[in-house]
């Protein structure tokens, strides 16, 4: 099972943690497809954040199957809102198509991550 927790403030991603993708290469075909969908969406999100100089974020993949990102500040909120909405829709579609393999929890929060 791939578990994803997304903290959102005003329709933008503030924090995201995903556990379980890329762990069961011998699993069912459906799990492998769900894993590929989630992994591709998360990697694209990370690449976009990394290439944008007006977003401050911290991210890591501390172990296989785990992806974490905290967004600290954003200068171009309209652009980032679009990126956030695209990622959330992509993850929802994978969950819709493979509900036995993907669980997503969306949590509304007050603001961006604290600098620490």
For residue 114, is it within any domain? no
pTM of the model: 0.88
Whether 115 is covered by a domain: the verdict is no
Q: Give which of 61, 65, 83 is closest to 8, Cα–Cα.
A: 83
Which CATH number characterizes residue 25's domain?
Answer: 3.30.70.1490
Residue 116: predicted pLDDT: 37
CA distances for 47 relative to 44, 100, 113, angstroms: 5, 28, 19
42, 21 contact by CB (below 8 A): yes
pLDDT tens string for the chain (116 positions)? Answer: 999 999 999 889 999 999 987 666 667 889 889 999 999 999 999 999 989 888 999 988 888 889 999 999 899 899 999 999 999 999 999 999 999 999 999 999 987 755 43
**What mean pLDDT value characterizes the chain?**
89
Each residue's pLDDT tens digit, 92-107: 999 999 999 999 999 9
**Domain range for 9:** 2-108
Whether 55 is in a domain gets the answer yes
- The total of structural domains in the chain comes to 1
How far does Cα 70 stand from its chain's mean position?
A: 10
């Amino acid at each position: 099972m791939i578990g994803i927790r997304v903290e959102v403030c005003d329709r933008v991603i503030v924090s995201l943690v995903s556990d379980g993708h890329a762990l069961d290469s011998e699993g069912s075909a459906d799990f492998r497809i769900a894993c590929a969908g989630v992994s591709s969406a998360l990697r694209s999100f990370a690449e976009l954040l990394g290439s944008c100089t007006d977003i401050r974020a911290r991210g890591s993949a501390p172990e296989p199957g785990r992806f974490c990102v905290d967004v600290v500040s954003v200068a171009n909120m309209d652009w980032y809102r679009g990126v956030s909405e695209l990622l959330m829709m992509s993850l929802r579609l994978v969950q819709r198509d493979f509900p036995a393999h993907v669980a997503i929890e969306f949590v509304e929060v007050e603001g961006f991550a604290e600098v620490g």
